[in-house]
Structure 1
Amino acid sequence: MTGYILRRLLLMIPTLLGVIVITFGVIQFVPGGPVQQYLIESRVAAGGSGADSGGGTYRGGQGVDPKRLEEIKALYGFDKPPLERLTQMLGRFARFDLGQSFFQNKSVWALIVEKLPVSLSLGLWTFLISYAIAVPLGVAKAVRAGSRFDLWTSLLVLVGYAIPGFVLGVALLVIFGGQLQWFPLRGLTSSNWEELSWGARIVDYLWHITLPVTAMVLGSFAITAILTKNSFLEEIRKQYVLTARAKGLKDRQVLWKHVFRNALIPIVTGFPAAFIGAFFTGSLLIETLFSLDGLGLLSYESVIRRDYPVVLGTLYFFTLIGLLTKLVSDLCYVWVDPRVKFD
């Protein structure tokens, strides 16, 4: 086991390196880099626009003093060759230094720590509610396999899975946020949240998070529900279940004492991936739609503004978390089922 873990940890290095190098290479060919973004913002701040006043086309660094342009490039490190910049960045990443944002005057780590609570909040509620619905539903479907209940719930699960989360989010915003005005349209808390009592803060927080969590849950619990059903059906058909029933055990005892423990192995081992995936998967569109200042919105705005340290830093962070989560998921198979060996 120790050798397996060490091999997996060592394999993370070329994977991380490949992801960062490929992304860095793509960035070199993307038009409108940080220097151009700075020039556009400077012109807008000066009362002009990012477009040519005569022809209405973007001029880039045209008309800017060459000496000033070189100073701006040096400010963002673009006065150095790409290979040298890549080497310096990889050296920082090896020390877990993600660098400094070009436009927000903060370190990337500070931005991640600042935005992480919002994504954690969304992900935690999505994970808990999804599994709280999916596992009991999957067990009920397996016990009643082939019945009307199984048919109708399968239809509802597939419809929920087929509707993208952001489309459902738009519908929820229009109906419950716009027309009925039952829920707020944006934010995670009200503007006067600090002035509220603790009880009122909890109610206000739950009031704000209801719509985004609903939009994320309806699409995420479908796979878990179907997996639970199929896992239980597979176990129910095995010989040890027939033997337990032949000994006179009731169906409820067979289900919860024998089948349940074995059927949950593939579900429990998927906990780490589902737990982490709930924080990042699909959160970009939901956070943008509901104006929630989390990691998804941070990544989106960084790409739009060409804030490359934030783009590459968050990508490094997400990739590292994903690789570690995959390792933990694989190790869970051994912890849950001792029959599994990684020899």
Structure 2
Amino acid sequence: MNIWSYILKRVLLMLPTLFGVVAITFAVIQFVPGGPVEQALLEMKGRSGGGEASGGGASGYRGRQGIDEQRIEEIKKLYGFDKPPLERFGQMLKGFATFDLGQSFYHHADVWTLVKSKLPVSITIGLWTFFLTYLISVPLGIAKAVREGSRFDSLSSVVVLVGYSIPGFVLGVFLLVVFGGGSFLQWFPLRGLTSDNWATLSWFGKITDYLWHIALPVTASVAGAFAVTTMLTKNTFLEEIRKQYVLTARAKGLSERKVLYKHVFRNALIPLVTGFPAAFIGAFFAGSLLIETLFSLDGLGLLSYESVIRRDYPVVMGTLYLFTLIGLVVKLLGDLCYVWADPRVQFESLSK
């Protein structure tokens, strides 16, 4: 099986997976109480909060009492709930096929436009988290493997495990309290990626202002992420160092540096290289909700959370579709990276 046949087979397998995820989520949504119709009726009655009926219709919902039936039908038509669920599901799939994700009930804007407007925040946190994690973790993991059992290895392991044991949002709260104007120092801003006067600053001032704003959220995101990568790097290097070919290379008189970087390095980095795509995309979304909420950053995590709370179903389904599609593509890229890093792996074995 050549590479193109393998890619085609994987893409064809993605389609039923993507369909299943979207179909199950759509079915669950039909039974979620307090849908957009019910919330609209509550607003009309001057009340707030969720309802007790299903997410799709207003039938049997006590919030409809005192509201004209024609008005209720107009609201249902406005949100598309005047059609049967299967018809709505079919229209949604047709739109997804052309990346038409629909219109947001709450924001009254195209879902794809909303996603693009939130991407800069998520990309900013994700890129910094990804690059800092690998820039710190890989060299640290190699150093720990080479110096296994030393005082450096023990002390760094304590630091790594402490960082791993503290959730990112807990560290974020601590950083805000200590350095963000809480109870102690006011060295860093509490919210946003830039200051209000960012447009009037010089290019150097803009860079400084930007780095000043992202210091705390990026620190909170990186703290837990780099621990896993560090220990993975250390363990993979230790496993390779103990193999027979390393002993043979040393017996031939090669220096420790050549043995490490010419022989061990490539084989040990295979698990890390194959995890690059997933780590790169995961840095954008993993834990982004809590970090974005804590530091008042208007990104994809906050958008997804608010859409669930407000029953903004087009945003829920649209973002779920995009995230699932990205996850499937990233999994495929991870497998291709594995073959690229280790040519001994054949596509037949990956497809089993």
* Alignment TM class, shorter chain as reference: over 0.9
Aligned to 1:253: 258
Aligned to 1:130: 133
**2:42 is the counterpart of 1:37:** no
Question: More deviation in 143-152 or 75-84?
Answer: 143-152
**Amino acid of the structure 1 residue aligned with 2:22:** I
Give the CA RMSD over aligned residues.
1.3
Aligned to 2:208: 203
Shift of 1:37: 2.2
Shift of 1:62: 2.4
Shift of 1:40: 3.5
Quote the sequence identity (%). 74
**2:311 is the counterpart of 1:306:** yes
User: Structure 1 residue aligned with 2:240, among 221, 227, 235?
Assistant: 235
**2:268 is the counterpart of 1:263:** yes
Query: Cα deviation per residue 1:175-197 (whole Å; 9 max; x = unaligned)?
Result: 11122011111111111111111
Query: Cα deviation per residue 1:183-222 (whole Å; 9 max; x = unaligned)?
Result: 1111111111111111111111111101100000000011
Aligned to 1:25: 27
Q: How far apart in 2 are the matches of 1:211 and 1:59?
A: 47
User: Structure 1 residue aligned with 2:88, among 63, 69, 85?
Assistant: 85
Q: How far apart in 1 are the matches of 2:242 and 2:78?
A: 67
CA contact (8 A) 2:274 2:338 kept: yes
User: Structure 2 residue aligned with 1:66, among 63, 66, 69?
Assistant: 69
Q: How far apart in 1 are the matches of 2:344 and 2:32?
A: 50
Shift of 1:227: 0.8
Q: How far apart in 2 are the matches of 1:318 and 1:26?
A: 18
**2:270 is the counterpart of 1:272:** no
Segments of 5+ residues of structure 2 without an aligned counterpart are 50-60
Query: Cα deviation per residue 1:130-181 (whole Å; 9 max; x = unaligned)?
Result: 0011001100110011222212212221221121111111111111112201
**2:319 is the counterpart of 1:321:** no
Aligned to 1:154: 157
Q: How far apart in 2 are the matches of 1:193 and 1:335?
A: 43
Q: How far apart in 1 are the matches of 2:249 and 2:156?
A: 29
Shift of 1:42: 4.3
Q: How far apart in 2 are the matches of 1:324 and 1:199?
A: 38
Shift of 1:50: 2.6
Segments of 5+ residues of structure 1 without an aligned counterpart are 52-57
Shift of 1:60: 2.4
Shift of 1:76: 0.3
**Amino acid of the structure 2 residue aligned with 1:119:** S
User: Structure 1 residue aligned with 2:123, among 99, 102, 120?
Assistant: 120
TM-score normalized with structure 2 length: 0.92
Q: How far apart in 2 are the matches of 1:157 and 1:113?
A: 35
TM-score normalized with structure 1 length: 0.94
Q: How far apart in 1 are the matches of 2:309 and 2:280?
A: 28
Q: Which protein has greater RCO, CA pairs closer than 8 Å, 6+ apart?
A: 1
CA contact (8 A) 2:39 2:48 kept: no
Question: More deviation in 4-13 or 60-69?
Answer: 60-69
